Amino acid sequence: MRAASATYDAVGRFFAAAVGNGVRHVVVSPGSRSTALALCAEETAGLRTWIRIDERAAAFFALGLARAGGAPAFLVCTSGTAAANYLPAVVEAHFAGVPLVVLTADRPPELRDWGAGQTIDQSRLYGRHVRWFAEAPIAAELSPEFAARWWPRFAARAVAHSVGADPGPVHIDWPLREPLEPPPDWPAAPSALAGAVPSPADDGTPAPPSALAGAATRLAADDPSVALVAG
């Protein structure tokens, strides 16, 4: 279960650091490959998880959250064509300058181009419509000492690119190996990591934690569907 433990530790550190850099909302389109992303988002203190089954609707809902609050919303989906359904909202975020961080779960490299189910080429899927693209490494291939420092910095860099001088969407493609379910000793309190977050990269300034306070209050009081915002 070392692979699963490394994956869940990595994702937990990533989301805890995102909270430390001002992120408060994650919109999840459920799927098998993205299990670790969805579960860790739900377990991270300070992060509100929204579930939206339809990927296109989920993406525009996240766009509305980000536009209303002025800080990035995170968007999570499984591998394959699910990620393609986010494209219209990503394009909207690109032209409107709305901070959005898209996390697409993916098959690991060894399962690509072999006819595996729910597998498409997700590298740079959104083309020039994102401010930054990165592929996450396989968590189990990093040493624990290096991973403890690297994953929070990875999250900070994603947020910084999204809210920089030219705000807009960011795409992180995240290859995940089986087992996809959490290890027996999980959760290991991702919230405990929330204080150990790095400063963001020099190419952007994250929104303060208070940026979403008013928007979150309004959203909590209303039907979530009213948060959909388009051009």
Helices and strands (H and E) in the chain: how many: 7, 6
pTM assigned to the model: 0.80
In this prediction, residue 111 carries a pLDDT of 82
In this prediction, residue 149 carries a pLDDT of 97
In this prediction, residue 91 carries a pLDDT of 98
Domain ranges of the chain: 2-227
In this prediction, residue 226 carries a pLDDT of 43
In this prediction, residue 172 carries a pLDDT of 99
Q: Is the per-residue pLDDT at 134 higher than 60?
A: yes
In this prediction, residue 229 carries a pLDDT of 43
In this prediction, residue 209 carries a pLDDT of 46
Give how far Cα 3 sits from Cα of 108, 153, 160, Å: 12, 21, 29
Q: Mean pLDDT, to the nearest integer, of 218-228? A: 46
When mean pLDDT is compared over 105-114, 176-185, 209-218, the highest value belongs to 176-185
List, for residues 61-72, the tens digit of each pLDDT value.
999 999 999 999
In this prediction, residue 112 carries a pLDDT of 76
- Share above pLDDT 70 across residues of the chain, in percent, rounded to a whole number: 78
List, for residues 39-68, the tens digit of each pLDDT value.
999 999 999 999 999 999 999 999 999 999
**pLDDT category of residue 215 using cuts at 50, 70 and 90:** very low
Q: What's the gap between Cα 115 and its chain centre? A: 26
Q: Is the per-residue pLDDT at 188 higher than 70?
A: no
Q: What is the mean pLDDT of the chain?
A: 85
In this prediction, residue 120 carries a pLDDT of 80
Superfamily of domain 2-227: Thiamin diphosphate (ThDP)-binding fold, Pyr/PP domains (3.40.50.970)
Give how far Cα 224 sits from Cα of 24, 98, 104, 198, 209, Å: 15, 19, 23, 32, 21
Q: Which residue has the higher pLDDT, 221 or 74?
A: 74
Phi-psi bin for 228: left (phi > 0), alpha (psi -120 to 50), beta? beta
Q: Is the per-residue pLDDT at 193 higher than 90?
A: no
Assess whether the previous peptide bond of 184 is cis (omega < 30° from 0).
no
What's the CA gap between 133 and 168, in Å, rounded?
12
List, for residues 72-125, the tens digit of each pLDDT value.
999 999 998 999 999 999 999 999 999 999 999 999 988 877 666 666 888 999
Query: Which of 119, 128, 139, 164 lies closest to 13 in space, CA to CA?
Result: 139
In this prediction, residue 187 carries a pLDDT of 80
Q: Mean pLDDT, to the nearest integer, of 169-174? A: 98
Integer Rg of the chain from CA: 16
